[in-house]
Structure 1
Amino acid sequence: MPEVGGPATPLRRSSLRQQIADALRDEILTGRLQAGRHFTVKEIAELYGVSATPVREALVDLAAQGLLEVEQHRGFQVRRLTAADFRSLTEARVFIVEAFFRELAGQGMGAVPGDALASVRRRAEAAARAAQSGSLDVLVGCDLRFWRELSAIAANPHICEFMDRVRTQTWIYAVPHLRALSDAAGVCWAGHVALVDAVAARDIETAHTLTSQYDTHTRTLIEKLAPARS
């Protein structure tokens, strides 16, 4: 099996299951571990120099998140997402964001702590800079962390978990198409800071409008790029 994105970083013995899952998740997100790639528990265990048990547990976790598919008697395969999957995921993203804003509005917005908003703002600024500069790997990580922290404000772990899962899968489909561009600077949505401002101002209507623009922009962009790679 070719190396997954280069030499593997040695892993500490604590929380191996989560570390392996995080490492492989990053490889999938950045497109270094491509859709359709097959591998076994043994291959991943040898790659990271660990035992099979935490590897198997990590791969099962990633399969449960919809990132891998279990192949009977063969191991695992990075899931192939289709254009129809992408559209369905973006539609699901709209519904979960609406649930998030309902949860936030139900709290009266007065419960949003200032330190949480400050942290989300830092994530927003980093994501916006990455989008404007075209730093795709940085953008993916910052965007996901931004939405994790933003959704956590509503304090509903189920909303947070589902939103992160859906956004991760949409990025997995989008990244290969974005990588085909010679220059991705200014191509992706960069309205993260404006969205934080709207949340901080307790302006749910504007926040909802901004997230709708995010979804429309992303879907239109990727659906335009996808035919060129088909």
Structure 2
Amino acid sequence: MPASGADTRGTVNRSTLRQQLTDALRDEVLAGRLQPGREFTVKQIAESYEVSATPVREALVELAAQGLLDSAQHRGFRVRAYTAAEFKGMVEARRLIVEGVHHRLALAASDLPPDGFVVLRRRAEEAGRAARAGELDVLIGYDLRFWNSLASIIGNPHIAEFLHQLRVRCWVFSVPHLRESPDLRGSGLLWSGYEEVVAALVRCDVEAVYEVLAAHDEAALRWAEGLSGPAGQGAWREAGDGCVGTTLGHS
């Protein structure tokens, strides 16, 4: 037990600060402001945020555990640079999980009360709007919220957490490539089919849910293949509508 109330408050405050730093640095990576391969030290981050080194170190260790950072021996930390092959592996891993849970997802959705889809539908609408408008930063936030809400319907927190980690890592890979596109609005790179998934769930159409997710995963794999092949960015246009957005989380 802590010796005093002040000690308890100090522990809570440090824990809160660590979480705030974790969230802020994750946002920096997902937004592409901390580029893959970028190295930094605990001291640099602590000075940048004007905080002590301890919560910064804890936040960086947490992000490394989530797969966003690598520990650079004797040099601090480095933003993880995922390869196209790793990206494809993550998509394939998620697809295998979706194959195993999509019937359970539809069954769980059928048991929801009439207002059970309110939050999910609202997040689907906002994510779809951001995708169609080419607003990448807004899309990332709503995409993660949407798939987390969808995953919670399944009722297995271990599956939800694993899919969330894959989703975040796929964004880490995708964002630098997406930033190179001069026009995300008209490029067809951002998937906007969130509302299609919700509509299929409301109808309890389990096959439609699976077909939507499987088709977009196939497009994502073609997109990644194009990135690692000689055609480079030109293959983006050939991967099909919404090839990137779908790779970011089918939970």
TM-score range, shorter chain: 0.7 to 0.9
Structure 1: gaps spanning 5 or more residues? 1-11
Distance 2:137 2:173 in 1: 14
Query: 1:114/1:25 Cα in 2 relative to 1: closer, same or farther (>3 Å)?
Result: farther
Aligned ranges 1:128-147 → 2 under 5 Å: 128-147=128-147
Q: Given the alignment of the two structures, is residue 120 of structure 1 paired with residue 120 of structure 2, yes or no?
A: yes
Q: Given the alignment of the two structures, is residue 161 of structure 1 paired with residue 167 of structure 2, yes or no?
A: no
- Which TM-score applies when normalising by structure 1? 0.87
**Count of residue pairs brought into register by the alignment:** 217
Aligned ranges 1:1-230 → 2 under 5 Å: 15-105=16-106, 107=108, 109-186=109-186, 187=188, 188-225=190-227, 227-228=232-233
- The alpha-carbon deviation at position 221 of structure 1 amounts to 3.3
Distance 2:38 2:114 in 1: 44
Distance 2:92 2:45 in 1: 34
- The alpha-carbon deviation at position 80 of structure 1 amounts to 0.8
- The alpha-carbon deviation at position 46 of structure 1 amounts to 1.2
Which is worse superposed, 204-213 or 89-98? Answer: 89-98
Q: Which amino acid in 2 is paired with 1:190?
A: S
Query: 1:197/1:51 Cα in 2 relative to 1: closer, same or farther (>3 Å)?
Result: same
Q: Which secondary structure does the structure 2 equivalent of 1:193 belong to? A: helix
Query: 1:222/1:182 Cα in 2 relative to 1: closer, same or farther (>3 Å)?
Result: farther
- The alpha-carbon deviation at position 198 of structure 1 amounts to 0.9
Query: 1:138/1:205 Cα in 2 relative to 1: closer, same or farther (>3 Å)?
Result: same
Q: Which amino acid in 1 is paired with 2:56?
A: V
- Which TM-score applies when normalising by structure 2? 0.80
Query: 1:80/1:199 Cα in 2 relative to 1: closer, same or farther (>3 Å)?
Result: same
- The alpha-carbon deviation at position 128 of structure 1 amounts to 0.8
| Structure 1 contact 94–212 (Cα < 8 Å) conserved | yes
Percent identity of equivalent pairs:
52
| Structure 1 contact 151–160 (Cα < 8 Å) conserved | yes
Larger radius of gyration: 2
| Structure 2 contact 110–202 (Cα < 8 Å) conserved | no
* Corresponding residue of 1:9: none
Give the ranges of 4+ consecutive aligned residues of structure 1 lying more than 6 Å apart after TM superposition: none
| Structure 1 contact 134–184 (Cα < 8 Å) conserved | yes
Distance 1:224 1:81 in 2: 15
